Every structure is written in C-alpha cells, then in structure tokens.
Amino acid sequence: MSNEQRDKKPGFSEKTRFLEQLTGLTVYPRSVTQADGTTFFLARGPQGKVLGILGDTTGFERNSQFAIRNSSFLCLLTPINAATLRDRLPWLRPVPLGLRTSAGFGDRLGLATPGHVRAVRGTGIAPIFAQQSVRENARTGRTPQQVMDEAMWGMFQEGWREPWGADADHLKTFADADTFAAAGYTFYTVDPGDHVDNAAHTASLDGLQDKLRAMPWADLEDSPDDLHTRYMDRCFEMETFTLEFDETTLLRAACKYGHAILHAARMYRHLVATLGDRPPSTGSGHAFELEVSVDETETPTSPLEHFFITSELRRLEVQWVSLAPRYVGRFEKGVDYIGDLDEFEAEFARHAAIARVLGPYKLSLHSGSDKFSIYPTIARHTRGLTHLKTAGTSYLEALRTIARVDPTLFRRILAYTIERYPKDRATYHVSAVLTNVSAPETLSDDDLPVLLDQFDARQVLHVTFGSALDRFGDRMLAPLWEHEEVYYTILESHFKHHLSSFTESRGRE
C-alpha cells in the first residue's frame, strides 16, 4: 500500500503517521487509542501483527523478537497481552446485549472480525463477534479463548468501542460451558437437542401415555395432574389468535420436549452457579445471557410446542433472551431458505407473537446465513426482536477471496473437498449433489469466484471446512493475510447484504 493510499484510510491522522515513522511498521489507523496517558495501537510488519504501546507497559508480556523501538514497546498478540489490554481498555470485553436486534458473526479462521466490524458499524445492530460452537472448535483445532482473543484483536484493529457479545454456541454439557465461562463469554446457547424425544412426534396416544408415566416428574418439579391443570380446557390468547391443547397435543409436546426442557434448566442453573459471582449486567440480573436452541430436531417446532416450551421454562424460573425453534422448511448450510414462503410467513408470524406475549424475547435464526428470501419476513414480524446467527458464510467468503488471489490453491481445495464431501456431509442436513459441481480443471480463473454463488458447490465447500483446514490450514491463511483488504471488502459487502433487511426494519420502528 502506498503512502497516499494509507493517508486516505479511515482514521488516518498525524498521530498514525508519527507512529509509523517511529516504528517503521504499518499502523492500523482506527486502532490508535489513548487511555490514561498511554497510547495503544496495532501494527503490521514482516513478522505479523504486533501490539504497540507508548507509555505504561505494566502487565504486558515482552518477547525476545521485539524490543523497545524508538521509545515504542512492541509485543506479540499473546493471550496474556490480550487479557492485559482488555483490563486497560474495558470496551474490549464482551457484555450482555439484551433485547436489541443482534447478529452473530462466526469466524472459523480467526481473520474475519475486521470485515464484520465494517459491515455492522452504523447499523444499530448489536454484534456478537466471538462465536463458535463446540463442534466447530473441535474441527478447527481452536479453543474458546483463541476465538475470543482473535475477535478482540480484530475489533481493536477497527476501533470498535460499542457493546458487543461473545457466544458459547451449541453447548450440551456442563464441561463445555465451563470452558467458555473461563474465557469470559457472555452469551450461552444451550442445545438440548439430544434430549428431544423425536419418536413422540408420531407416537400413538397409548404410546404417549406410557412415555408420560416415565417422565422425571420429581426433577421437573411437576406431576401429570398439575400438567393437565395448567393446559387442558384453557384458551391462551396470543394477540390475533388463540392456542388450545387437547389430550394428544399436550402429551406430544410434554413427551417430545420434557427432557430437553429439564436439560436446559439444569444448564441454566449451572451457569448461574458458575457465573453468579460476577457483577450483574443492567437489566438481566446475570453476567450472562441464555439462548435456548431446539432447532436441531427432526421435526419443526409448532406454535403450540413453542408455547409449551417457553411456558415450562418460565415455570422452572429459567431466564433467557432468545429462543431458536426449528421452523418449517429447510435451513441448509450456506444457501437460501428452501420451502414455501407463504407457509413460512404464516407460521413465523405465530412464533413472533408468542415471543412477545410470553417474553418478550428474541427469536433466533440458526443456520441463518444467506437466507435472503426470508429476512424481510423475519424483520417485519419480530419488530426488532431478532437474533441472526451466521457461521460458515465467512469461511466461504474466505474461499472466494482465495479464488480471486490464488486460483491454483483454490483449485486444490475444491478438488479435495469434492473428494471429502460424501463422508463430511454425514453430520449436516444438505442437498448438494456432487455431479452438479464443476471439476476445477474445467474452470477458468475468472469462473472460480463465481463458483461460490452456485448452490451445490457452496454447500460442498461449506461442510468440508474441517477437512480443508486439516489439509491446507496455513496455506489458506497466507493469501488472506497478504490480501487482507480484499477479504475485508468482500466480507463487508456480503454482511451488509445480510443486515440490510433488519436495518431497514429498525428504521421503520
């Protein structure tokens, strides 16, 4: 980048110019921050990114590769230095976000946050910049602390000072929750899907009665008689419609979701016990927020089942900020919504009304990336009570970047993912057909980025991310590092497209 180009970057100032002359490095203009008489900044040099400090360096870790250069202290982006910087600049710590319209930005490579910041800046949407599931951490070889720190460095680079969150995504065990709690996460997505009895969805009334008798009533602090008293022969008003249970629908909801509700309550109580000694956030009463996710089930969550789940969570005194039902239609990875749009809108309008009446709480959209055809419907019916969760789409845009700047590497990745797809797709609900994906040798360099817009190729590349990272890891990071501005620009455009429907909806409120 030329001096003239640098001078035109947002936030570039005489202070930035001075720091570059002092260190001989390229300084990220928006990172330059003064606090209590000390100047902090992020810079880029031949050996990577470093933290620069002019002033009080107490608590920061010195590294033999770097010394004090012309009165500036330079240090590596280590966990100790990340923690110390968070102590010195409190806005680099995540906080609960409440009921604000929010969006989660998963980042499987640890490089995408600057692009996410640029996309969300000025929208009024509350961001969750650190977000990764236990499964994704296992496949990428990252830890919750690494995800947190890499998101923080990206925010620092871009000068983000507004509230932000960190999502411990799809938690199933106490041990998983503890790892994220130790790293300072503030948003906990509890996934009780393993405890959903999918067989109850089609069981006969006799079968449901057998299941009901076997329910853990003492743990649920309930009884079959009390259950019937709460729900039978009653009419529940939900704004423009009513909900009523009969014997079969009540037993089906109780048997299908009873164990899952109990697991969610246990996870919540564990988090309260673990995090309860931290200062409470304004409004929530806790230092964390809970999301309950029942989206990874075999059948959609009906409005009646949604009502039952939330009513029972309230009875068990669980506090949550968002809920992710399984909606009608198909929410496949990396592609638009698949299903009848009119049916989706009719069902979703009911879910949104239930969330207002029994909450308010936000409706969360999992596997939410690239669902452009339904974003306007979601924004309209939730009236801002929405959480959009994205993950793999940032990885796909990294591949688009690689396709532009290193076609040879992209061809190798594509060929390998085609080979891996039959095995890697096993843990995903996807529809991609390999015969619809062009062989890499048949495509020109100009055709490669466009492949990321093709349904089948996009899904094949999406679900094989773990295998691709195992094989190509560092080789994939190198062109993204070298051409970081290309990647940030692609991400910014991609996510502005995602957020536009929700931003427009906020403007109409």
72 vs 40: CA distance, rounded Å: 10
Return the structure tokens found at 213: 């008798």
Q: Which long-range contacts (CB under 8 A, 24 or more apart) does 483-488 make?
A: 483/401, 483/405, 484/111, 484/114, 485/1, 486/401, 486/404, 486/405, 487/111, 487/112, 487/115, 487/397, 487/398, 487/401, 488/114, 488/115, 488/118
| Contact (CB, 8 A) for 285 and 256 | no
Mean pLDDT by 10 residues, the chain (509 residues): 55 88 95 96 93 94 66 90 97 96 96 98 97 92 97 98 97 97 97 96 97 98 98 98 98 98 98 74 65 93 98 97 97 96 98 98 96 98 97 97 98 97 92 96 96 97 96 96 98 98 68
115 vs 8: CA distance, rounded Å: 18
Q: Which residues of 254-268 are buried (b: 16+ CB within 10 A; e: fewer)?
A: bbbbbbbbbbbbbbb
CA distance readout (Å), 480 to 141, 174, 183, 409, 462: 19, 36, 27, 12, 17
CA distance readout (Å), 423 to 335, 428, 460, 467: 20, 10, 11, 10
Beta bridge partners, 42, equal 51
Q: What is the DSSP string of 348-385?
A: HHHHHHHHHHH---EEEETT-TT-TTTHHHHHHHHTT-
φ and ψ at 352, to 5 degrees? Answer: -65, -40
pLDDT of residue 281: 40
42 vs 44: CA distance, rounded Å: 7
Domains of the chain: 3-88 (no CATH), 92-195+260-392 (3.20.20.70), 198-243 (no CATH), 403-494 (no CATH)
501 vs 25: CA distance, rounded Å: 40
142 vs 107: CA distance, rounded Å: 11
- C-alpha angle 476-481-483 in degrees, rounded to nearest 5: 100
| Contact (CB, 8 A) for 464 and 456 | no
In this structure, the number of other CB atoms found within 10 A of the CB of residue 310 comes to 22
Helix and strand numbers (H, E) in the chain are: 18, 16
| Contact (CB, 8 A) for 188 and 168 | yes
25 vs 403: CA distance, rounded Å: 29
- Give the predicted TM-score (pTM) of the model: 0.94
| Contact (CB, 8 A) for 125 and 98 | no
Active site residues: 169, 291
pLDDT of residue 8: 56
Which parts of 153-257 are beta strand (E)?
Answer: 165-171, 187-190, 236-238, 241-243
* Closest listed residue to residue 438, CA positions, set 460, 470, 409, 420: 460
Q: Is the dihedral of CA 111, 114, 120, 125 positive or negative?
A: positive
